[in-house]
Amino acid sequence: MEGIEAKELTLAYNGTPVIEQLSATIRPGEITALVGPNGCGKSTLLKGLARLLRPRGGTVLLDGHAIHDLPTRELARQLGILPQTPTAPEGLTVYELVAQGRFPHQGLFHQWSAEDEIKTREAITATHLIPFADRPLDTLSGGQRQRAWIALTLAQDTSILLLDEPTTYLDIGHQLEVMELIERLNRERQMTIVLVLHDLNQAARFGRRMIVLKDGAIMADGAPWDVMTREMLAAVFRVQADVIPDPVSGVPICLPYRTLEGSQPSENAAANFLRD
Amino acid sequence: MTTPTDPFPRPGWITLRSRRPAVSFRLDRRAMTIIPLLLVALLLALIISTSQGEYDIPMLDVMRAAVGLETGNPNHALVVRDFRLPRILVALLIGAALGVSGGIIQGVTRNDLADPGLLGVNAGAGVLVVGYLTLVAAPDTTLLPWLALAGGLGAAAIIYGLTRRGGSSPVRLILLGVGLASLGAALINYFITRLEVDSAQRAFVWLTGSVYGSTWADVRLLLVWAGLLIPAAMLMSRQLNAMALGDAAAVGLGVRVEPYRAVLLAAAAGLAAITVTAAGTIAFVGLVAPHLARRLVGPAHEALLPAAALTGSLLLVVADLAARTVIAPTELPIGVTTALIGAPFFAWLLYKRGK
C-alpha cells in the first residue's frame, strides 16, 4: 500500500501561486480530509496530488516515484480521481459509465476482458446501484449519480482515491449516503482516501486526519480533536465557535456562533462582537 | 457468467473474447443494426440519385453502367460514369468527412452545437481563396483547392496555437473559433465588395459549396484522405469517450488529454479542409450528421463516428439530388440545399434544448 507525499510543492494557476512550498504526507489506508476557507487552495492541492496540475516547484511522490514522471495510464491503475464537476454525455447509462472506469486496464486488443466485467459488476454492487444499472445517468438523483461516479473510480481498481467535494450540492441524506460509502470503502478495502470537504463536522466525523489550509499553507494537521479547536476556527475561518463532542460518536462538532472582526460578510458582525 | 437471474442489464455491446491470445473486442449492439441499415439506405440513395438528372436512366441500367455492363444505350456509360457518379461520390465522401469531423469536434469540445467551422477551416480557406481572386489580376483557378487547403489548415493551426496557451480548454477553443470565424467572414465580405461581378459570383458559389464539375480526380483525393483520417479517428474512440467525462476525469482514467486532443483536432481539421478543397465551404452537415448519429446509436464514439460518416454521406447525396432536380434545368449549389435542410434542423435543436 502506498502513501502520497508532497514535497515543497508549489502550485500555480496562470502564474499566480496558490500553494507555495507545501510539504505533507498522506498515510496509506487512512481517510484524510482537506478543509479550509474558500480560496485556501484545498482543491488546488488535491489537483496537484492527482497530477491534474503540473507543479511549479517541488514534487508529488507516490511510493517514492514522482507522479509527473509516471506514465499517466500506469498511475491511473493506482490512483483514482473524482473531480468536482464531471460531465456525462446524454443518455449514458450507469453501467456504461462505470465500465469506463476500466479504461487504464484496457487497450485496442483488450476492450472488455472477463476481469473488466467482474470489476464493473463489483463496483455497481458495492455502490448499491444494481437496480439503476440500466438507467441513463441523467435520470438519477444527485446522490445516486454521485455514487455512480464513485463506482467508476472503484471499477478502476486503485488503492488510492482522491475526491473533490463529493458531497457539495447534495441534501443531507444524500451527503450521508456518499460519506458512508466512502467510509465503507476505506474500512473494507483499506483504500487510501483524500477528500476535499466544505463541512467541518463531516470532515471531523469521517476523517481520521484533518489538514486545514489557509492561503495555501497548512495551518493545522492531525486527528480531528487536535485540529478542530476554538482557536483554529477563529484563526482560520474567522468564526467564534464552540467545539463539543458528538453525543453519539464522540467526534468533535463545531457550533459556529458569529463571524469575527476582519471577516468578509459585514462590519456589523465585528461591531456585535465588540459589544459582547 | 450470464444466468437467467442475472440482475445486471445486458451491456450495450457484444463481447468477443479469446483466451489465447488473450484478446477481447466490443461490438456496439445498436451500431450493428443501424450501420447496415444506413449502408443500404446510402446505396439506394446513390442509385436513385444517379438515375435522376437531365434525363432519367432506369435504375437497373444505372447499376449496369456503373459496373461497366452494356445497357443498350451508349450514352448511359458516359452519363453515369463520367458525369453523374463522380459528383455524387464526391458529395458522399464530403458528407462522410464532415460527419466525422463534426463528431470529433463535438466530442472534444463536449458541446453538441460545435461544428468543423469552429476550427476556422472554412474561414481560413475562404479568406485565402476569395482574397486571391480579389488581389491577383489574372487568377489561376487550378490553384484554388490548394489555397483552400493551406488556408483551412493554417487557420486551424492558429486557433489551436492560441487555445493551447494555458491549456487547450474546450471553452477557449469554442470562443476563439467563433471569433476567428467572424473575422474571416468580415474579410471575405470586404474582398467580395471589391470583386468584379463575374468573379464575385464565382466566389459566392465557391463559398456556398458546390460539387458541380467534380471529377474522378476529386473522388480519389477525397478517398485517400478520408480513408486515412476517418479510420485514424475511429482508433481514438475510447479516448474520446473518456474525454466526454471532462478533462479531469479523463486524466484520472489515464488519458493523455493534451496530445490526444491535438491529434484529434488535427484529424478533424484535415477532414474539413479536404472537403473545402474539393467543393468549397458546405455548412451544417458537420453539425447535423453527428447529431442524427447520436440519436441513432447513442454517445459511444465507436458507433457514433461511423454512424456520423454514413448520415453525413446520406445527407449530402440527398442534398445533391435536390440541388440538381428542384429547379431543373437550373442547378442550385449543394451548399444551398444542405443549408435549407440544415438550418431548420439547427433551429429545432436549439428549440428542443431550450425546453
pLDDT tens digits, B197-223: 877 887 877 787 788 878 898 899 899
Q: Say which residue, B164 or B1, is predicted with more confidence.
A: B164
Distance from CA of B203 to the nearest CA of A (A): 40
Whether residues B252 and A96 touch (CB distance < 8 A) is answered with no
Phi, psi of B110 (to 5 degrees): 55, 35
- Among B91-100, B135-144, B249-258, B260-269, the range scoring the smallest mean pLDDT is B135-144
Whether residues A83 and B26 touch (CB distance < 8 A) is answered with no
Whether residues A113 and B24 touch (CB distance < 8 A) is answered with yes
The β-bridge relationship of strands A217-222 and A239-245 is unpaired
**pLDDT tens by residue, A102-143:** 999 999 899 999 999 999 999 999 999 999 999 999 999 888
Domain ranges of chain A: 1-78+159-228, 88-157, 239-276
| Distance from chain centroid for Cα A56 | 22
Whether residues A106 and B238 touch (CB distance < 8 A) is answered with yes
* CATH code for residues B31-350: 1.10.3470.10
**B90, HSE (Cβ side, Cα atoms, 13 Å):** 29
B4 pLDDT above the threshold of 70: no
Look at residue A222 in the predicted model and tell me its pLDDT.
94
On whether the CB atoms of residues B305 and B233 are closer than 8 A, the answer is yes
Look at residue B207 in the predicted model and tell me its pLDDT.
80
Q: Torsion-angle region of residue A116: left (phi > 0), alpha (psi -120 to 50) or beta?
A: alpha
Q: Does B8 touch chain A (CB under 8 A)?
A: yes
Q: pLDDT class for B32, splitting at 50, 70, 90? A: very high
Instruction: Report percent pLDDT > 90 for chain A.
Output: 78
Q: Does B298 touch chain A (CB under 8 A)?
A: yes
Which residues have C-beta within 8 Å of that of residue A147, sequence separation ≥ 6?
A: A127, A128, A129, A177, A178, A181
Look at residue B278 in the predicted model and tell me its pLDDT.
86
Q: Does B164 touch chain A (CB under 8 A)?
A: no
Q: Which residues does chain A have within 8 Å of residue B9's beta carbon, measured at their own beta carbons?
A: 93, 95, 133-134
In DSSP notation, B15-55 reads EEEETTTTEEEEEEHHHHHHHHHHHHHHHHHHHHHHH-SSS
Contacts 24+ apart (CB under 8 A), B273-276: B273/B121, B273/B125, B273/B148, B273/B149, B273/B152, B273/B153, B273/B156, B274/B97, B274/B149, B274/B221, B274/B222, B274/B225, B274/B226, B275/B94, B275/B97, B275/B98, B275/B101, B275/B222, B276/B121, B276/B122, B276/B125, B276/B148, B276/B149, B276/B152
Instruction: Report percent pLDDT > 70 for chain B.
Output: 96
Integer Rg of chain A from CA: 20
* Mean pLDDT for the stretch of residues B4-18: 84
Q: Torsion-angle region of residue B120: left (phi > 0), alpha (psi -120 to 50) or beta?
A: left
On whether the CB atoms of residues A237 and A212 are closer than 8 A, the answer is no
Phi, psi of A187 (to 5 degrees): -75, -45
Q: Does A109 touch chain B (CB under 8 A)?
A: yes
Strand partners for A82: A163
Domain ranges of chain B: 31-350
Residue pointed to by grid coordinates 474539413: B272
Whether residues B242 and A103 touch (CB distance < 8 A) is answered with yes
Which residues have C-beta within 8 Å of that of residue A240, sequence separation ≥ 6?
A: A230, A233, A234, A256, A257, A258, A259, A260, A273
Q: How many CB atoms lie within 10 A of CB B21?
A: 6
Look at residue B3 in the predicted model and tell me its pLDDT.
53
In order of B90, B110, B118, B232, the CA distances from B36 in angstroms are 21, 27, 31, 21
Look at residue B81 in the predicted model and tell me its pLDDT.
80
**C-alpha cell recorded at residue A31:** 481517510
Q: What is the pLDDT of chain B when averaged over all its residues?
A: 87
Look at residue A60 in the predicted model and tell me its pLDDT.
95
Percentage helix, strand, coil, to 5, in chain A? 40, 30, 35
* Mean pLDDT for the stretch of residues B340-352: 77
**C-alpha cell recorded at residue B178:** 467563433
DSSP state of B84: I
Alpha-carbon gap, residue B152 to B145, rounded angstroms: 10
Q: Which residues does chain B have within 8 Å of residue A153's beta carbon, measured at their own beta carbons?
A: 252
Q: Dump strand ranges (E) for chain A.
A: 4-13, 16-26, 31-35, 57-62, 65-66, 79-82, 160-164, 192-196, 209-214, 217-222, 239-245, 252-259
Residue type, B310: L
Look at residue A262 in the predicted model and tell me its pLDDT.
57
Alpha-carbon gap, residue A35 to A214, rounded angstroms: 9
DSSP state of B79: I
Of A81, A113, A130, the CB nearest to B7: A130
Alpha-carbon gap, residue A273 to A258, rounded angstroms: 8
On whether the CB atoms of residues A67 and A108 are closer than 8 A, the answer is no
Distance from CA of A164 to the nearest CA of B (A): 11
Return the CATH fold of A1-78+159-228.
Rossmann fold (3.40.50)
Q: pLDDT class for B354, splitting at 50, 70, 90? A: low
